[in-house]
Structure 1
Amino acid sequence: MDINTFLGLNTILVLVIFVGICVWAYSSRRKKDNEASAQLPFEDEELDRRTLRKESEKKTDE
């Protein structure tokens, strides 16, 4: 087996692995996890609002 055959088979193997990862990432079984991950930035905003609300309550109590 010469080097060009090896490189060709290696390219095909890497392509198959890449396609497999893409199929896994977008499969219907991963939908729930993907939706939860998409909401992470918005959870930070809610935490910020609660923190600001508590700080403003402390300032009004003083």
Structure 2
Amino acid sequence: MDINTLRTVVTVVSFALFIGIVVWTWSRRRRGHFDEAAMLPFIEKDGAEASGERK
């Protein structure tokens, strides 16, 4: 097995992993979880005044 074969295998595996992550990210089943996570920075905490945070 020479270095070019190894490079080809690593490239194909990396591409397959990338496609898998894209499919997982855009799946309809995960959409609700990602939408909820996207709103986390905008959720106000109880007691924000006590900890010194601004509204």
With the shorter chain as reference, the TM-score category is 0.7 to 0.9
Q: Could you list the runs of 5+ residues in structure 2 that have no partner in the other structure?
A: 51-55
Considering fraction of residues, name the structure with more helix: 1
Structure 1 letter corresponding to 2:23:
V
Aligned-pair distance for 1:41?
0.9
Is 1:34 aligned to 2:11, yes or no?
no
Q: Quick one: percent identity of the two aligned structures? A: 40
**Which of these two proteins has the greater Rg computed from alpha carbons?**
1
> How many residues were matched structurally?
50
SS of the residue corresponding to residue 45 of structure 2 reads: helix
Over the residues paired in the alignment, what is the CA RMSD in angstroms? 1.9
Is 1:47 aligned to 2:32, yes or no?
no
Segments of 4+ moved more than 2 angstroms: none
| Mapping of residues 1-62 of structure 1, within 5 Å | 1-43=1-43, 46-47=44-45, 51-52=48-49
Higher RCO, 1 vs 2 (CA within 8 Å, ≥6 residues apart): 2
> Structure 2 length as normaliser, TM-score?
0.73
Q: Deviations over 1:6-56 (max 9, x none)?
A: 11111111110111011101111110001100110111xx326x644x8xx
> Structure 1 length as normaliser, TM-score?
0.66
